[in-house]
Amino acid sequence: MKGSIPGPVAKAGTSPTKMGGWSTIKPVLKGKCNFCLLCWIFCPEAAISQDEENRIVLFNHEECKGCGICALECPTKAIEMIEIVAGKGK
Q: In this predicted structure, what is the pLDDT of residue 24?
A: 85
Tell me the domain boundaries of the chain.
32-83
Q: How far apart are the C-alpha atoms of 16 and 8, rounded to whole Å?
A: 9
The torsion angles phi and psi of 12, rounded to 5 degrees, stand at: -50, 135
CATH classification (class only), 32-83: alpha beta
Percent residues over pLDDT 70 in the chain: 70
Q: Please answer whether residues 42 and 70 qualify as being in contact, where contact means their C-beta atoms are separated by less than 8 angstroms.
A: yes
Q: Would you say residue 86 has pLDDT above 60?
A: yes
Q: pLDDT for 50-64, tens place per residue?
A: 999 999 899 999 899
pLDDT > 90 fraction of the chain, expressed in percent and rounded: 57
Confidence check: pLDDT of 19 > 80 = no
- Long-range contacts of 20-23, Cβ-Cβ distance < 8 Å, separation of 24 or more: 21/90, 23/61, 23/64, 23/65, 23/66, 23/84, 23/90
Average predicted confidence (pLDDT) for the chain = 81
